[in-house]
Amino acid sequence: MASDPLVERMRAFGTTIFSEMSALAVRTGAVNLGQGFPDSDGPAEMIAAAGEALNSGANQYPPLPGIPALRAAITAHEQRFWGLTRDPDSQVVVTAGATEAIAASILALCEAGDEVVCFQPYYDSYAAAITLAGAVRRPVTLRPGADGRYHFDEAELRAAFGPRTRLLLLNSPHNPTGKVFTADELALIAELCHRHGVYAVTDEVYEHLVYTDAETPHIPLATLPGMADRTVRISSAGKSFSCTGWKVGWATGPAPLVSATLRVKQFLTFVNAAPFQPAVAVALGLPDSYFTEFRDVLQARRDRLVEGLRDAGFGVLPSAGTYYVTADITPLGGADGAEFCRAMPQRYGVVAVPTQVFYDDRDAGRHLIRFAFCKREHVIDEAVRRLRAPA
């Protein structure tokens, strides 16, 4: 018998880097700026609504597409912030986090051998979902330019599209780089989707985390001319409402794409998170002030960490959004981010994540590591104190 029972196409995937680095932080007592989870609770109204739901019988299977109150809240939220009009009955599906929406939409839309254009570095579940579908990823590299911001090469993007391209997978605001795709970049992406008859799947879990000094606001790809009809737009409560453990996500889009996603999703988890669904509906209905205050808090934390990283000698790349900032380790004598991150608990008492694991072309990100700043201020301050005084 083969020594590894895992199917061949999944063997290149180890344990996710987040689990590995979080375990390392626990084992060494290091400050964990690796995995992107907040260390404080989300809005009190939302937590209270979950408690109420738990105590009033919302503990059985919810409807397959999600409870009506949540689907209505998702469409109202999309309308309020992005001007998108979707029918809550046929154009929304609630999923077990954005992760399930991503996997279900890729599995629903890709035949074996189809190609998926995505940007690298990419969120690690993309590569796994594409591989599970038997599809092939065509990554286009984001590289720091002279201005420090991440850019892609137009010719490289054009060349990634071809006769087998089925999907374009876009994450903006982008993890791990903090890049927010501009109107011009999105227009080019949309043009290529139209020209090649390609569907888009967009991961917008950081839709509310674009900072006030960003060069562009967040623009959902689905709001570009003609794109609402070919885009599955994915988001989730985890990042916007500091409840990553609840795993309540959703996909919206034209009815045929949502229905295809739903038909796969029903055999992955069927449904999830019954008592959290009404609570997320409450959160999505919070006034605009919740969203701007949340952004301002995260922006202040970003600034605190960025300043500390600069003082500690890292080459900090500007982050316009998300929970993250990336840093170049070469000014500190580092060459390989994976090696550097494994040594960080000893050297600094801090954990970060090497971004090379999010690239097919590891050399493109070998010298870069990612820090999460979605942590309480005293945690960031302690991390900064340690980073300034290495062992």
Ligand X SMILES: *Cc1c(COP(=O)(O)O)cnc(C)c1O
Q: In whole angstroms, how close is the CB of 36 to ligand X at the nearest point?
A: 6
Span near ligand X by CB under 6 A; candidates 113-121, 153-161, 234-242, 266-274: 234-242
* Per-position DSSP letters for 323-334, written without gaps between them: SEEEEE-GGGT-
Q: Tell me the closest approach of the beta carbon of residue 6 to ligand X, in angstroms.
A: 22
- State the nearest-atom distance from the C-beta of 92 to ligand X, in Å: 15
Residue 91 φ then ψ, to 5°: -125, 20
- Measured CA to CA in angstroms, residue 17 lies from 177, 360, 365 at distances of 16, 15, 15
Least distance between ligand X and beta carbon 208 (Å): 13
Residue with smallest beta-carbon separation from ligand X: 97
Choose between 173 and 308: whose C-beta lies nearer to ligand X: 173
Q: Which of 167, 200, 205, 281 binds ligand X (CB under 6 A)?
A: 205
Minimum distance from residue 322 beta carbon to ligand X (Å):
7
Q: Footprint of ligand X on residues 143-162 (CB under 6 A)?
A: none
Minimum Å gap between C-beta 112 and ligand X is: 24
Kindly tell me which residue out of 231, 236, 319, 326 binds ligand X, with binding defined by CB under 6 A: 236
Residues 62-101 that bind ligand X (CB under 6 A): 97-99
Which residue lies nearer to ligand X by CB, 282 or 353?
Answer: 353
Query: Strands, E, within the chain: which ranges?
Result: 31-32, 92-96, 115-120, 136-141, 143-144, 150-151, 165-171, 199-203, 231-236, 248-252, 315-316, 324-328, 350-351, 353-354, 368-372
Q: Across the strands, what pairs with 140?
A: 119
Q: Which lies closer to ligand X via its Cβ, residue 122 or residue 161?
A: 122
Q: Quote the least distance from Cβ 177 to ligand X, whole Å.
A: 11
Residue 195 CA, distance from chain mean position:
27
321 interacts with ligand X by CB under 6 A: no
Minimum distance, C-beta of residue 162 to ligand X, in the bound complex (Å): 25
**DSSP string for 142-179:** -EE-TTSSEE--HHHHHHH--TTEEEEEEESSPTTT--
- 298 or 387, CB closer to ligand X? 298
How many residues bind to ligand X according to rule CB under 6 A? 15
Q: Does 177 bind ligand X (CB under 6 A)?
A: no
Measured between alpha carbons, how far is 248 from 290 in angstroms, rounded to an integer?
A: 19
Q: Please state, in angstroms and rounded to a whole number, the distance separating the CA atoms of residues 213 and 351.
A: 27
Classified as helix, coil or strand, 2 is coil
Residue number, 122 or 348, with CB nearest to ligand X: 122
Torsion angle of C-alpha atoms 62, 67, 71, 72, degrees rounded to 10: 180
Site for ligand X in 13-42 (CB under 6 A): 36
Q: Which is nearer to ligand X, 265 or 386 (CB)?
A: 265
For the four alpha carbons of 263, 267, 269 and 270, in that order, the dihedral sign comes to positive
Residue 161 or 206 with smaller CB distance to ligand X: 206
Residue type, 368: L
**How far apart are CB 150 and ligand X at their closest, in Å?**
14
CA angle 337, 124, 316 (to 5 degrees): 40
In 3D space, the residue among 267, 265, 272 whose CA is nearest the CA of residue 102 turns out to be: 265
Among 20, 78, 185, 203, binds ligand X (CB under 6 A): 203
Q: Is 125 within 8 Å of 175 (Cβ atoms)?
A: no
Say if residues 207 and 220 touch (Cβ distance below 8 Å).
yes
Closer to ligand X by Cβ: residue 218 or 239: 239
Torsions phi, psi for 311 (to 5 deg): -60, -35
- Position among 105, 171, 182, 319 found at the interface with ligand X (CB under 6 A): 171
Sign of dihedral through CA atoms 294, 295, 296, 298? positive
Does 249 bind ligand X (CB under 6 A)? Our answer is yes
Q: Please give the residue ranges that form the binding site for ligand X (CB under 6 A).
A: 36, 97-99, 123, 171, 175, 203, 205, 236, 238-239, 244, 247, 249
